[in-house]
Structure 1
């Protein structure tokens, strides 16, 4: 089966949306595209959904609003069921699921190809992940998916503020959880709790410092040391107490502090120079880490009462 994904234009056609929805995509497992997309239509035209496209892949859907008396069908089987906000539903794209759109809907859809599940099993030295359960109308109370979904919703709504390391990590966490919770993944080898060697940690910091804009993917960073993305994330956290995307934000703030000692450089320019989307994003991250705003910190550092912008 040809993989065409379930994001972007595919989702737009499937749900008859007016505009192409924003999607976040990672390629950290076998270069397979794992994606997440928020969809919403408060006044849809009543009609059947389009085709997902037959693929060896799953759509894991976190529902963000109630959708009572939902008519859904696949392979000739039709049911009506009440979809509940906060529940997670698994759809097998090989079964060509569709539903009748006649009420407002709001969902978060994860696209999970079979190749990504195989990649997780391979990295874990585990048997192949089983088919994920996709019984029509059956929802799951999954607090992990709700937590991951909540974090990714913020990134989807402000994509310029989300660095690729964060996207890669959250999507890897989603895929691993789906493989364990729904596919029965069992680790074939004991997960190492060891950290990176000093030279590896030094090199990792150098790579992060050289890419404050956050374009470097987790897979690319891990490949520097011949490690999988999941193993590298665990080892990096064991060494630093931080995940790679969190460390990137700390490095940005560290460099910003150095630049703020230059009295004539505006905060708006510093924000862009160290990789933040804008001054507002910079202020939010800086304040969370340091406890005061950049302007307040700068006044204290320079010993001046002048306002900063």
Structure 2
């Protein structure tokens, strides 16, 4: 994903090397960013990107005067762009820019699917559109500071801490959604609880390893200490991580019990229990009957 995005942006802005990094926390879409710089541009129009339901946010890292910009074939008023300002473009409207002056910028790729996922995770209505003036620079100190935090990671993307990158790009996406999309959550998250993306990530990791993913690893993926994660998990879901995991093992075991070809020993092993006795103990405690009785009841 990063290589493809960097290559596309590099071709658009006439640069050979455009390092890119991206989020890993959103299930159906990624937010990406790449650095583009050219000190001696040819006086040509920027290349076009494929039309798609996504936005391109350009954070200026140097001043550029009298910039010419087009959307849907219509030229926007010329404007000066200052370092620290950003411009927003809708990729459905075929944005183009005249590259006739040196430039250095960060280009953030924000697909509609990422905005939808952010809205869903924050219990907010989905955004219809982002508010912006074509070609105009916007002075937003939050975007500027988040962008500058990513510059060292872009200089050495192979050494970038993925959790740090996730946090910064997610903060970027949420800020854009709230400030320029008007996103407002229907309800505030509980104090001390997991953020929606942390809850989702924790559940994914725990389900992926029913034998028991190391709690330290799950907490690290959520950017928390083990103690903080355990308390936040319990506050969010009402049970400790281990008890929640046992519940997921029981859910899976019910599916497997429908298959008469599988023995209770096989099901116990597949669902992450130590042995059949361990499986029977927890199944009976949670469901109220033994696995064998539950399976027989299915046939009745």
TM-score, structure 1 length as denominator? 0.63
Q: Secondary structure at the match of 1:155?
A: helix
Residue of structure 2 equivalent to 1:224: 205
Cα-Cα RMSD: 2.9
CA shift in 2, pair 1:21/1:237, >3 Å: farther
Contact 2:13 2:47 in 1 (8 A): yes
Which sits farther off after the overlay, 94-103 or 71-80? 71-80
* Structure 2: distance between partners of 1:5 and 1:155: 15
* Structure 2: distance between partners of 1:236 and 1:144: 26
Residue of structure 2 equivalent to 1:143: 141
CA shift in 2, pair 1:132/1:184, >3 Å: same
* Structure 2: distance between partners of 1:176 and 1:26: 13
Structure 1: segments with no counterpart, 5+ residues: 197-216, 241-309
* Structure 1: distance between partners of 2:137 and 2:81: 8
| 1:52, distance to aligned residue in structure 2 (A) | 1.8
| 1:118, distance to aligned residue in structure 2 (A) | 0.4
Residue of structure 1 equivalent to 2:110: 112
* Structure 1: distance between partners of 2:226 and 2:128: 30
Q: Secondary structure at the match of 1:29?
A: coil
Residue of structure 1 equivalent to 2:228: 239
Residue of structure 1 equivalent to 2:23: 26
Q: Deviations over 1:206-230 (max 9, x none)?
A: xxxxxxxxxxx9975562357xx9x
* Structure 2: distance between partners of 1:72 and 1:94: 15
Residue of structure 2 equivalent to 1:153: 151
Contact 1:67 1:104 in 2 (8 A): yes
1:52 maps to which of 38, 49, 54: 49
Structure 2: segments with no counterpart, 5+ residues: 208-217, 230-300
* Structure 1: distance between partners of 2:20 and 2:30: 11
| 1:133, distance to aligned residue in structure 2 (A) | 1.9
CA shift in 2, pair 1:147/1:6, >3 Å: farther
Contact 1:164 1:218 in 2 (8 A): no
TM-score, structure 2 length as denominator? 0.64
Contact 2:55 2:112 in 1 (8 A): yes
The size of the alignment, in residue pairs, is 213
Q: Secondary structure at the match of 2:67?
A: strand
* Structure 2: distance between partners of 1:95 and 1:220: 34
Q: Deviations over 1:13-58 (max 9, x none)?
A: 11121x1310001232233021000110001111111102211000
Residue of structure 1 equivalent to 2:254: none
CA shift in 2, pair 1:61/1:87, >3 Å: same
| 1:159, distance to aligned residue in structure 2 (A) | 2.0
Q: Any residues of structure 2 matched to 1:155-174 within 5 Å, and which?
A: 155-174=153-172
Contact 2:202 2:222 in 1 (8 A): no
Larger radius of gyration between Structure 1 and Structure 2:
2
CA shift in 2, pair 1:135/1:4, >3 Å: farther
1:68 maps to which of 65, 80, 93: 65
Contact 1:28 1:218 in 2 (8 A): no
Q: Secondary structure at the match of 1:180?
A: helix
* Structure 1: distance between partners of 2:156 and 2:70: 34
Q: Any residues of structure 2 matched to 1:1-309 within 5 Å, and which?
A: 7-17=5-15, 19-79=16-76, 80-195=78-193, 220-221=201-202, 223-225=204-206, 233=222, 239=228
| 1:134, distance to aligned residue in structure 2 (A) | 3.2
